Amino acid sequence: MSSDQNLYIAVKWNMVRLPEDAGVEAMFRTALDTGFDGITLTAPGAYDLTEVLRAQDKTGIPIHNINVAEHWQIRLTDPDPAVREAALQNTIGAIEFAHAVGASSVLQVIGKVTDPETENLAQVGQRSAEQLTKALPTAARLGVQIACENVANGHGTSIAEWIAYLDQFQSPWVGAFFDIGNHDRFDGGAPAWIRALGSRIVKIDVKDHDHSAEKNCDLFQGNVDWPGVRQALTEIGYTGWATAEVRGGDAAALKVVSRDMRKALGIA
């Protein structure tokens, strides 16, 4: 990583397509060889910590973030209290794994509106906040931020609603994992969201969005105003990690993604 740049690009573990027996070290080396500064993983339960630390030691790659495993299926907002407790333990496990590998954040989808009676908008907000509050002591003790994501789940689709949700915690250990493509369809587009969220943004995910098809897509295949995004990020003084979340592939495909990431974000 260059010491004079403000943004660093990462790739998600599931974008690196290698033979099943290739191993963690091969994944890390592929990420570096294709132009990425770092990588994200998922936990708990997906990777052996010893293997990850060994591979990280051999390659030197930063693991900047951990996605909370199964947060769509085992939700903080599930109608069943036992499932909500299991989701909380996944969050805590992800925080502990992040700390162990040197990651500064965990990505947490807060829940999902699935039913007007048993998992509605109000319940998603209330239940997820209750559970995340229980995870805050671990996050603070280990120095790992909980970066919340609010995409495709029926909650936080307006800027005001999402800001109110994040600000209720009154904690530096809770912020937003802002997804450029997912938010571009709401409230004036991604640049407007970036300006409004400001310092609440902990990390960013990077993809494009095709408004006519109403689908996320590869970079420069949609309608995101990339000059506007760059300007908004500059205005709020954002520095740090930007993670690709588009179609992955082999080394050749990943080189295209890393090239497009740098172009979209204005990284030399």
Q: What is the pLDDT of residues 49-69, one digit of tens each?
A: 999 999 999 999 999 999 999
Q: Give the C-alpha separation, 107 to 149, whole Å.
A: 7
Radius of gyration of the chain (CA): 18
Count of positions (residues) in the chain: 268
| pLDDT above 90 as % of the chain | 94
Is a pLDDT exceeding 90 seen at residue 151? no
Confidence of residue 21 (pLDDT cuts 50, 70, 90): confident
| pLDDT above 70 as % of the chain | 98
Confidence of residue 3 (pLDDT cuts 50, 70, 90): very low
Query: What φ, ψ does residue 40 adopt, rounded to 5°?
Result: -115, 150
The answer to whether 177 touches 148, Cβ cutoff 8 Å, is yes
pLDDT, one tens digit per residue, over 183-223 is: 999 988 999 999 999 999 999 999 999 999 999 999 999 99
Q: Give the C-alpha separation, 254 to 232, whole Å.
A: 26
The answer to whether 242 touches 7, Cβ cutoff 8 Å, is yes
Q: For residue 115, what is the DSSP state?
A: B
pLDDT reported for residue 14: 96
Round the average pLDDT of the chain to a whole number and report it. 96
pLDDT reported for residue 241: 98
Domains and CATH numbers, the chain: 7-265 (3.20.20.150)
pLDDT reported for residue 4: 45
The answer to whether 208 touches 224, Cβ cutoff 8 Å, is yes
